[in-house]
Amino acid sequence: MILLKSQTGKDADGVKLIAGNRQAGYEYFILEKLEVGIALLGTELRPCREGRVNLKDGYAEIENNQLWLYEVHIGSNAFANRQDHAPLRKRRLLAHHRQILKWFQKVNASGNTIIPLRMYFKAGKVKVEVALVKGKRQYDKRETIAKKDLKREMDREMGGRGR
């Protein structure tokens, strides 16, 4: 028997999920993934630990050879004073310069975009998994739904025979 999660909510790699973007696989074709760090303020850490983060509308852009994360909502800290952070401020993503330049060429060349897939704690640090994606058209989305339904039906059929 393999244990995937311990009682602390972490999986086998010591990764604790903060937030995920479940719609990303439905809305986009995922071309490449990259794990990056994120520069947070001190008042943003408690809402991250409590899971009050929304990645759904988030996207990343490259400005002045730096990767910036936009429209990611990190809730306010109940214990902060008037110097609390703005929930929708832009945040810097920490990636290697070579990787940023490589993705900059791909984004400019062919209408791709960068979105966050999930945010998690890894070894005490907040990490963001970003992806280089291409948008799906309506017929691609219908095809994705049809494949998922077919797979669910096949699993249901195969599961019923063994009993």
C-alpha–C-alpha distance, residues 96 and 35, integer Å? 10
Tokens (6 digits) for 115: 């979105």
- Select the more confidently predicted residue: 43 or 131: 131
C-alpha–C-alpha distance, residues 145 and 134, integer Å? 18
Residue 95 inside a domain? The answer is yes
C-alpha–C-alpha distance, residues 92 and 126, integer Å? 12
Residue 40 inside a domain? The answer is yes
Average pLDDT over residues 123-142: 86
In one-letter notation, the amino acid at residue 141 is K
CATH code of the domain covering residue 117? 2.40.280.10
| Domain range for 80 | 15-161
Residue 156 inside a domain? The answer is yes
Q: How many domains does the chain have?
A: 1
Residue 60 inside a domain? The answer is yes
Residue 30 inside a domain? The answer is yes
- pTM summary value: 0.75
**Quick one: pLDDT at residue 81?**
66
Residue 43 inside a domain? The answer is yes
Strands 91-94 and 53-54: unpaired
Residue 28 inside a domain? The answer is yes
pLDDT, tens only, 2-41: 445 545 566 656 788 888 888 888 888 889 899 999 988 8
C-alpha–C-alpha distance, residues 144 and 138, integer Å? 10
Tokens (6 digits) for 75: 């809730």
pLDDT, tens only, 40-72: 887 888 888 888 888 888 889 998 989 999 988
Tokens (6 digits) for 114: 């960068």
Residue 85 inside a domain? The answer is yes
- Provide the percentage of residues in the chain whose pLDDT is more than 70: 87
Q: Please list the residues that pair with 69 across neighbouring strands.
A: 60, 91
Average pLDDT over residues 121-147: 87
